[in-house]
Amino acid sequence: MPVPPLPTSTVLTTLALDGHSLTLDHVSSAATRPGPVVCALTDEARVRMAASVRVKNDLIASGAALYGVTTGFGDSSDRQISAAKAEALQRNLLRFLRAGVGSYAPDDVVRATLLIRANCAARGSSAIREEPVTLLLELLRADLLPLIPERGSVGASGDLAPLSYVAAVLTGEGNVRCQGRELPAAEALRARGLHPVHLRAKEGLALVNGTSFMTAYATLAHAEARELAWIAELCTAWATEVRRGPAEQFDAFPHTHKRHRGQAASAAHIHRLLTGSRLTAVPPSAETSETGYAELDRNIQDPYSLRCAPHVIGVLRDTLEWTGHWLTTEINSSNDNPLFDAATGRVHNSGNFYGGHVAQAAQALTSAAASVADLLDRQLQLLLDDSYSRGLPANLVAPVASAEAGVHHGFKGTQLTASALTAEALHLTMPVSSFSRSTESHNQDKVSMGTIAARHARTSIGLATEVAAITLLALAQAADLRGPHLLAPATRAAHTTMRQSIAFLDQDRPLDTDIHRATALIRTAAIRRLSDASEAAHSV
């Protein structure tokens, strides 16, 4: 099968990798929008890398026992080999580690992995030449993506199994995915004019002994969680409108006095989204009777899923802040072992491959995102149950001719789906790092499970995003029933965006396609861009 041609695109910028300044936005952009960016090592990175290679070579020449270079791996590190066998050792490392199972990692995760691993090598303490790292970046540029099974890493000695599939492709072994086609690596490299590398001493270990796969998952989860926080605030504002709730519950005063930055920012955003709405209500009122008792026309406060939404979404916002710092540190770290100090000529055996920080960050994102899913599921219930929706029809069933009365059920089925998605997201909040396993003959006797935690984070955030999509569908329906012209400019822009691809539900139809379309509008940030633009235009 021929290799698909490279997509034609104009190179707009070069991303210089120095091992110190890669950002999460760099990673998510390169992973999700491949094309007009060339990634390259800086001259300073090349100098540092060459210096650590010289230290390694000098130590090998001295006859020193170097872990994973002139000794076996793991509990086999008491077995020293001659320098003549060092390259064969690296070749076999990549072979015995390729024991992964499960589905192949998505393309964006693989792209992020390639970029992060190259950047970690650019720090210059892993004793790897620039040639293998440059080929990593050439794979990224050509979008030749190693097929990496998702399962098989305990996240302690880094992502040994997943990264072995990356390293194998550099040597011409294994398989890649190219524009949806699976091809032998050697064939794909040849078609792109690329040449496999012959890994030297330590270089296989330098490629596989790190946290780049789990951090790729966590970085993309972090980006998607930021989008989730924004869309949850839109849903909250919109639900407040269509239920004719009070905007004053999002005034700055109470949130300023709670003093959590994420909560205050969330409340302020919801309040801005409601600016200009003709649906939000004034405080309830009633005339007091002679008995000194009266019933208000509605509750004085909204249920917690609306009134406390900034307190819930704010947790996600604050979690995004500190996990962002941790993940940025991780993608700019030497998460390898052993490390070589060019200044002193020494080798250092340590455990920088341990994924504990990634695991903790991922678990926190999982928990915060699942809580938002639960929040949105409860908001959906307020919209569909006519006991709580303040005049909206049950299940948002559109008015129909009398001949069809009673046969339509509107959004009833979507609440079942939302509940199932929420339950699954909540189930994933069990911290997997609590299930450390002693592996590899008790050499890896305390492991992070960071890779599983990172996969769970992205899964949980994906589930929460689908709950948000269902909630958006219901909100758009409710807005049509109330009158879209009464919405605030920002929520009206969101409604317009949705109605460009998703029709009003005038009678029962399968809603799975609608859910997929609404989810895509969230993930591509289409709703956010237009809503933000509308909000900005009306705030001038």
> Which sequence positions are flagged as catalytic?
67
CB 444, CB 156: distance < 8 Å = yes
Q: Using alpha carbons only, give the angle 137, 140, 144 rounded to the nearest 5 degrees.
A: 125
User: CA-CA distance, 476 to 414, in Å (whole number)?
Assistant: 14
DSSP code, position 64: -
CB 398, CB 255: distance < 8 Å = no
Residue type, 383: L
- What tokens were used for 399? 């008015």
Tokens 């929520």 found at:
491
Which helix (H) or strand (E) covers residue 283, if one does?
Answer: none
User: CA-CA distance, 316 to 100, in Å (whole number)?
Assistant: 32
User: CA-CA distance, 385 to 537, in Å (whole number)?
Assistant: 35
Which helix (H) or strand (E) covers residue 135, if one does?
Answer: helix 130-142
Tally of CB atoms within 10 A around 61: 9
Tally of CB atoms within 10 A around 484: 14
Which helix (H) or strand (E) covers residue 381, if one does?
Answer: helix 356-384
- What tokens were used for 294? 């009266």
Q: Where are the alpha helices (DSSP H) in 336-488?
A: 356-384, 412-427, 450-482
